Amino acid sequence: MKLKSIDLTKILKEQHENKWVALSRDYTKVMGVNSKLKDLKEKIGDEDVVYMKVPSSDRIYAY
């Protein structure tokens, strides 16, 4: 069965881990990256993006 899920490993690499990123709304481009969300938002301004903090690939998360 073909999965409908989105694979962010095409655009998010190890250098993005534990940092804030601004992604395009279609999740195909990284529009900005910074260790501080406030600084990233100042840089991005009014662009239509989705913010997320990229989790570390070294950990298994149990919430």
Query: What is the contact surface with other proteins in residues (CB under 8 A)?
Result: 1, 3-9, 12-14, 17, 20, 27, 36-38, 41, 48-55, 57-63
- The minimum distance between CB 23 and other proteins, in angstroms, equals 8
**R_g (Cα) of the chain, nearest Å:** 13
| Nearest alpha-carbon partner for 9 in 34, 27, 26 | 27
- The minimum distance between CB 22 and other proteins, in angstroms, equals 9
- The minimum distance between CB 43 and other proteins, in angstroms, equals 13
Q: Let me know: does 14 contact 57? Beta carbons within 8 Å.
A: yes
